[in-house]
Amino acid sequence: MTEQFDGSFTQQEPIPEEAIAAATEVMRHGRLHRYNLAAGEAGETALLEQEFAAFTGARYCLAVASGGYALGAALRAVGVAPGDPVLTNAFTLAPVPGAIAALGARPVFVETTEDLVIDLDDLAARAGAARVLLLSHMRGHVCDMDRLMEIADAAGLIVVEDCAHTMGATWRGVQSGRHGALGCYSTQTYKHLNSGEGGLIVSDDADLIARAVLGSGSYMLYERHLAGPPLDAYERAKLDVPNVSGRMDNLRAAILRPQLARLPEKLAAWNARHDTLEAGLRGTPGLRLVERPSEAVRIGSSFQFLLPGWSGDEVRALLAACAARGVELKWFGAAEPAAFTSRYDHWRYAESDPLPRTDRILAGLIDMRLPLTFSLEDCGLIARILRAEVTRIEAGRSR
C-alpha cells in the first residue's frame, strides 16, 4: 500500500490560552496604543522589549509592526541613503531586497554555498564595494559568523542581521542577531513567534537604537521605552530622524509575551521534528542533506535538501508525485515565482549579474515547511514518502 500524508503544511499551533487571556485584558481596557498607559503601567509592548532583550542578551530592543519594517528601520538607522549599494544574500526572500530597494538603495547580491549560506569568499571579494551588509540567515542556516565578522571588520562593513528564520538559533552560544550592529526578527505567523504581523530589533548601540525608536514613531514619548538607550542618545538624534510610523501595539505584544516564555520548548520541538526527517532521509540516493557546522545551533522550523544535477523535468516529477501523496514541497529553481518562493533574478527592481554558483544550487533546492502541528510520526511518514519518490526518480534518471 502506498502511504499517504494528510496533514496541513500551513497550519500553525493555536495561540496559548495565557496569551489569549492577556490579549482579552488589553481589549477590555482599550489601551492598545503602546504609549497609552495608565498611571504606573509599563505596557505590554515595553515589557516585551525588555523580555526579548534579556532573551537575546542585547542591551536594547525595539518592537515594530513587521519583520520587513524592522529591516528598513535598521537600514535607516545605519544611514543607508538613496543610491547606496547594500550587500545581501542572493538566496533569500523578497522582504530583504525589498527593504533595501524601498530606501532607494541598491541590493548587491552575494553568492550562496552548498550549505545554503552566504559565500564568504565572494563576500570578501565584494566587501569593499559597499558600506553595509544586510545578512539574511535564510531558512535558519548560519554561516561561519567568526569569519564573516572578520571580513566585515576588515572592510569596515556595518552588518545588519535578518533573523526572520533564526530567532533562538546560536553561533558558539551567541544568539543570532547579536554579531552585527543590529539584529532584526519577525513575529509573523509563519516564524518562531506568532502575532500575525510584528517585528523586533535588538542592538547594543545606543545611537542606532535611538534612531530606530524615533524613526518608528515615538514622537517625544521615548522615555516610555524600558529597553531603550540612555536619554542623551535620543537628545542627539530627535530633530534629525524622520518619523516612519511602524510601532508595535499592546495587543500583539500581549500575544507574544507568553509565547516568548515558552520559546525554548518550541525550538526543541522543531529540532526533534527536523532530526526525525533528516534521519529518515540520510543515505537516500540522489539526495543531499544540508549539513550544519558544529558551532551552530539551528532551529529546524523548515527543511531543505538538494537534488544535485537533476533536470527541471525530474524535479517537477518529484513535486507532482509528492503532492499526490500529500507532501507539499517548494522549489527554488522554478522559472516563475510561486507563493512565498522567489529568486534574485525574479526581482526586476534589483538588477544583478548572473550568479552561477547560486543558480546551480537553487536549481536543485527543495524546501518544505515544518509546522509544529506535525507529530514526530508525521515527520517519519513524510520522510518515507520523500525517500521512496526520490529513490524511484533517481533510479530512472538518464546519466
Ligand X SMILES: *Cc1c(COP(=O)(O)O)cnc(C)c1O
Chain centroid to Cα 173, Å, comes to 19
Q: Is 193 in the site for ligand X (CB under 6 A)?
A: no
Inter-axis angle of helices 376-396 and 263-281, to 10 degrees?
A: 30
Q: Which of 45, 136, 304, 358 binds ligand X (CB under 6 A)?
A: 136
Q: How far is the CB of 171 from ligand X (least distance, A)?
A: 17
d(CA 210, CA 259): 27
The DSSP letter of residue 374 is S
Inter-axis angle of helices 95-102 and 67-77, to 10 degrees?
A: 40
CB closer to ligand X, 144 vs 367: 367
Nearest Cα to Cα of residue 34 among 23, 25, 46: 46
Q: Is 43 in the site for ligand X (CB under 6 A)?
A: no
Q: Which of 88, 186, 276, 302 binds ligand X (CB under 6 A)?
A: 186
Q: Is 113 in the site for ligand X (CB under 6 A)?
A: no
How many binding residues for ligand X (CB under 6 A)? 15
Instruction: Show the binding pattern over residues 149-178: x = contacts ligand X (CB under 6 A), - = does not.
Output: -------------x-xx-------------
Look up residue 360 and give its three cell numbers: 546551480
The DSSP letter of residue 37 is -
Q: How far is the CB of 199 from ligand X (least distance, A)?
A: 6
CB closer to ligand X, 135 vs 393: 135
Per CB under 6 A, which region of 1-9, 60-68, 260-268, 304-312 contacts ligand X? 60-68
Q: Which of 45, 58, 68, 194 binds ligand X (CB under 6 A)?
A: 68
Q: How far is the CB of 39 from ligand X (least distance, A)?
A: 33
Q: Helical H runs in the chain?
A: 17-29, 44-56, 67-77, 95-102, 120-126, 145-155, 206-215, 231-237, 250-261, 263-281, 312-324, 356-363, 376-396
Q: Are 202 and 61 in contact (CB under 8 A)?
A: yes
Task: Let me know the angle formed at the C-alpha of 199 by 351 and 50, rounded to the nearest 5 degrees.
Answer: 140
CB closer to ligand X, 222 vs 270: 270
CB closer to ligand X, 10 vs 24: 10
Q: Which residues pair with 132 in a beta bridge?
A: 86, 158
CB closer to ligand X, 96 vs 181: 96
**DSSP three-state, residue 265:** helix
Q: Is 67 in the site for ligand X (CB under 6 A)?
A: yes
CB closer to ligand X, 198 vs 229: 198
Q: How far is the CB of 181 from ligand X (least distance, A)?
A: 17
CB closer to ligand X, 171 vs 310: 171
CB closer to ligand X, 113 vs 276: 113
CB closer to ligand X, 67 vs 180: 67
Q: Which residues pair with 112 in a beta bridge?
A: 118
Name residue 348's amino acid. R
Give the CB-nearest residue to ligand X: 67
Q: Is 107 in the site for ligand X (CB under 6 A)?
A: no
Q: Is 138 in the site for ligand X (CB under 6 A)?
A: yes
Helix or strand (DSSP H, E) at 297: strand 296-297
**DSSP three-state, residue 137:** coil
Q: Are 128 and 146 in contact (CB under 8 A)?
A: no
Instruction: Show the binding pattern over residues 78-97: x = contacts ligand X (CB under 6 A), - = does not.
Output: --------------xx-xx-
Binding site for ligand X (CB under 6 A): 66-68, 92-93, 95-96, 136, 138, 162, 164-165, 186, 188, 199
